[in-house]
Amino acid sequence: MSESTTPNFPPVEIGTEARPPVIVLPDPATLFARRAARFRALAPGHDLAPYLQFLADIADAQHGIVDTLPTPVLPDADAIARAVEFSMPVLPRSPFTPDAVVQETLARLLAALSAIDMPEPAHAALERLRNAEPEALAEAIRNVLDDAIPVEAIPEHVFLGAALQVHFARAAARFDAGKLAFIADGVCPVCGGSPVSSGIVGWQGSERTRFCTCSLCAARWNAVRIKCLACSSTKGIHYQQIEGADGQVKAECCDECRSYVKIMAEDEGTTLDAVADDVASLGLDILVREEGFRPAGVNLFLIGR
């Protein structure tokens, strides 16, 4: 069963008004290590324990290659300036041509992944990806970036998505956050991706404000609370959680467009991770989907949820 509540966030106290940054860029040096630790912390006793442990191993592999890769190539300064001027992503997913850095990132991650324990079907998918022809690989990359992944090839695309997360996070970290601009509630200002989830943060100067986390590059952007990230409506917003849960992860549901995105209480001193806790709260997805809501967020480790 699920519990449904109306929005009831505590106000920001007078004298401590939050002045959050518009955009916060990822730190690839710590991003994947922290995510791996969170996956492992969530795994014991969980119904999805084997999968959470598997994803922890993937995150460890992502972390292990971050410092070994060549520097990502960004668009030129004029292209970045035009993108900001016209409220477009500065590192667009389309068009996107995998360059030598992307190819090296994929090769090193696949090599690292070959050393971890995984079910035979996943291992077979990994080998198919390692032996894929360039044309097939380019098509698979396009599928990930278009959020259009064929059901029959989900495992290959999970591995490929993990490599693209590394590349895009490293590239995103090279921008100047102060020179980037907000695009839309549910659109990453760096790569144009959808959020994996959002969180109420407790950072100094940003207390009780909401930030979305990009499903691909892990950039975060400030978004108004109690507002649908899919259609920007402020009507019919309500929150659902699994009955008896601690309230740290809820589904923000919109009656106007019938979509939802997870929202997490990061300000409660927890170690919540936008990706890991989204996977671990899959039961909440099942509940709200049964009530007719569709996910507006994207998680490359929950393809087809």
Task: Specify the pLDDT at position 18.
Answer: 63
Residues in the chain predicted with pLDDT less than 70, given as ranges, are: 1-18
Angle at CA 151, nearest 5°, toward 194 and 92?
30
Digit-coded pLDDT (tens) for 178-195: 999 999 999 999 999 999
Task: Specify the pLDDT at position 17.
Answer: 59
For residue 159, give the nearest of 175, 186, 179, 141 by alpha carbon: 141
Is residue 199 a contact partner of residue 264, using CB atoms and an 8 Å limit? yes
Digit-coded pLDDT (tens) for 231-274: 999 999 999 999 888 889 999 999 999 999 999 999 987 799 99
Query: Phi and psi for 219 in degrees, rounded to 5?
Result: -65, 155
Task: Specify the pLDDT at position 4.
Answer: 53
Task: Specify the pLDDT at position 6.
Answer: 44
Give the integer Cα–Cα distance in Å for 273 and 201: 12
Residues 6+ apart with CB under 8 A from 8: none
Q: Which domains does the chain have, with CATH numbers?
A: 1-305 (3.90.1670.10)
Output the 3-class SS for 173-226: CCCCHHHCCCCECCECCCCCCCEEEEEECCCCCCCCCEEEEECCCCCEEEECCC
This prediction has a pTM of 0.92
For 70-93, letters b (16+ CB in 10 Å) and e give eebeeeeeeebeebbeeebbbbeb
Give the integer Cα–Cα distance in Å for 220 and 78: 24
CA atoms within 13 A on the CB side of 251: 31
Task: Specify the pLDDT at position 270.
Answer: 77
Structure tokens given for 187: 């659109």
In the chain, DSSP finds a helix count (H) and a strand count (E) of: 9, 9
